[in-house]
Amino acid sequence: MNAPATLAEVRPDARTGELRSLDLIRKLVGFDTTSRDSNLALIHWVRDYLEGHGLTTTLTFDDDQRKANLFATLAARDGNATDGGIVLSGHTDVVPVEGQPWDTDPFVATFHDGRIYGRGVTDMKSFSAVGLSFVPEFARRGLRKPLHFALSYDEEVGCIGVRRLIADIVARGVRPAGCIVGEPTGMELVVAHKGKRAWRCRVRGLEAHSSLTPHGVNAVQIACEIVAYIAQRGRDFRDAGRRDEAYDVPYTTTHVGVIRGGTALNIVPRDCTFDFEIRHLPFDDPEDFIHDVRAFAARFLPAMHAVDAHTYIEFDHISTLPGFDTHDGSAITALGHACNATGDVGKVSFGTEASLFHGADIPTIICGPGHIAQAHQPNEWVAVEQLRRCEAFMRRLADRIAPA
Ligand SMILES: [Zn+2]
């Protein structure tokens, strides 16, 4: 792109429509919060900002005290800080920029041609910035019920941080009536996403010269048999499984993403390892799937052990993210419709922290500016039009939770 303007140059421009969140977007994007690094500089800055507006804050840390979640509460007019009200939720971490061809500094929010570029502008600092930019107004108008902000660490590496934040608020007796997660949905209201489970399979065979294959146990070939079974299960879900057409991919999927095995063509390979996952609709049980995969794998063991007793097939659990499905008639969905001025809902295949709030009995919806297709990309961008829609959402939210 040529000669992008800085946000400061853009501010007086009518094209941005005087967005009130621009300063905060620029501020948050300016913190390099790549998941592997500390997010404390951002967290401390936001904590100070919120405390400056009268919110109470709690930090929950990772084991090394290098990263933290921030939970902040603006109490209602009557002092209520725990019962009811909603949570505005966003993760603070972003994916790496290394190896990506960026045309601008990824950590400087840059305006060009109706878009703002920068790492995290879509996934998902803009939603947090828009919410934070309305704090002075929420505080001035006064709330019927408490309003909470939940800013987490390590979402991009498995929704790790927010689990501690949720455990902490449950332990402290904070009982929000609903949660809005601002992951990029193009400001469409999303009420469900699939669950995901991932495992690693480790096949241990026995080496032999490749001219003597019956004397060895070929770990690569056995792994490939199991991989083929997982792929067949994926086709079965597609062709014969239950569907929910509201999802972008309307059936449960299986997938093998990494495989390693063998050292040379003339050696029967001793080891092969592969990673696989299932992304399941609410009515498909991932336990059934892994049970079947294990049972299929077990068929190979007698022949393997007949050659060598030390051979094995092991499965290691890597991660679990439950799915969620918030009833379309729920209060949080109705609030989402009112704030978004739409009646449509969507369901998506990518996982978010929404399922973890949902699992803690906090009804949750997802609605945020930008599109998932722009997330994790070089030159990540969000359209100013999306930010306008998000600010309009927040303005309507203010009218409902903080009537003047
Ligand atoms: Zn995200």
Q: Which residues are catalytic?
A: 93, 155
Q: Are 20 and 391 in contact (CB under 8 A)?
A: yes
Residue 95 has pLDDT above 50, yes or no: yes
Q: Please state, rounded to an integer, the average pLDDT across all residues of the chain.
A: 94
Helix (H/G/I), strand (E/B), else coil: 331: helix
Element containing residue 386 per DSSP (H, E): helix 384-401
User: Among positive and negative, which fits the CA dihedral 397, 400, 402, 403?
Assistant: positive
Least-confidence region, from 14-18, 56-60, 124-128, 249-253: 14-18
Output the CA–CA distances (angstroms, integers) from residue 242 to 91, 186, 197, 252, in the order listed. 32, 27, 19, 8
* pLDDT at residue 101 tops 60: yes
pLDDT at 18: 80
pLDDT digits (tens, 9 = 90+) for 308-346: 999 999 999 999 999 999 987 899 999 999 999 888 889
* DSSP single-letter state for residue 34: B
Give the pLDDT score at 4. Answer: 45
Residue 58, phi then psi, degrees to nearest 5: -135, 135
Q: How many A from CA of 287 to the centre of ligand 1? A: 27
Cα of 118 from ligand 1 centre, angstroms = 14
Side-chain half-sphere exposure of 358, counting CA atoms within 13 A: 25
At 11-57, the pLDDT tens digits run: 444 444 589 999 999 999 999 999 999 999 999 999 999 999 999 99
Please provide the size of the chain in residues.
Answer: 404
Distance 162 CA to ligand 1 centre (A): 12
Q: Would you call 73 helix, strand, or coil by DSSP?
A: strand
Residues 365 and 351: their CA atoms lie apart, in Å, by 13
Helices (H) and strands (E) in the chain, counts: 12, 19
- Say how many Å lie between the CA of residue 155 and the centre of ligand 1: 7
Residue 17 and residue 37 in contact, taking contact as beta carbons nearer than 8 Å? no
Protein residues near ligand 1, an ion, with CB under 5 A: 123-124, 183
- What is the structure's pLDDT at 343? 80
Q: How far is CA 74 from CA 55, 151, 313, 340, 393, in A?
A: 5, 14, 53, 22, 19
- Ligand 1 centroid vs 184 CA: distance in angstroms? 7
Distance 376 CA to ligand 1 centre (A): 9
Neighbours of 308 (CB within 10 A): 17
pLDDT digits (tens, 9 = 90+) for 271-322: 999 999 999 998 999 999 999 999 999 999 999 999 999 999 999 999 999 9
The string of pLDDT tens digits covering residues 194-238 is 999 999 999 999 999 999 999 999 999 999 999 999 999 999 999
CA of 195 to the centre of ligand 1 (A): 16
Task: Identify the pLDDT of residue 12.
Answer: 40
- Centroid of ligand 1 to alpha carbon of 183 (angstroms): 5
Angle at 312 between CA 307 and CA 316, to 5 degrees: 170
The Cα 355–Cα 53 span in angstroms is 30
| Cis bond upstream, residue 124 (ω within 30) | yes
What separation in Å is there between the alpha carbon of 372 and the centre of ligand 1? 8
* Residue recorded with tokens 């920068």: 118
Where would I find the beta strands (DSSP E) of 56-156?
Answer: 56-61, 68-74, 86-91, 110-112, 115-117, 147-152
* DSSP one-letter string for 277-292: EEEE-TTS-HHHHHHH
Q: List the Cα angle 247/182/333 in 5-degree steps.
A: 60
CA 339 / ligand 1 centre spacing (Å): 21
Per residue in 130-189, pLDDT (tens digit) is 999 999 999 999 999 999 999 999 998 888 999 999 999 999 999 999 999 999 999 999
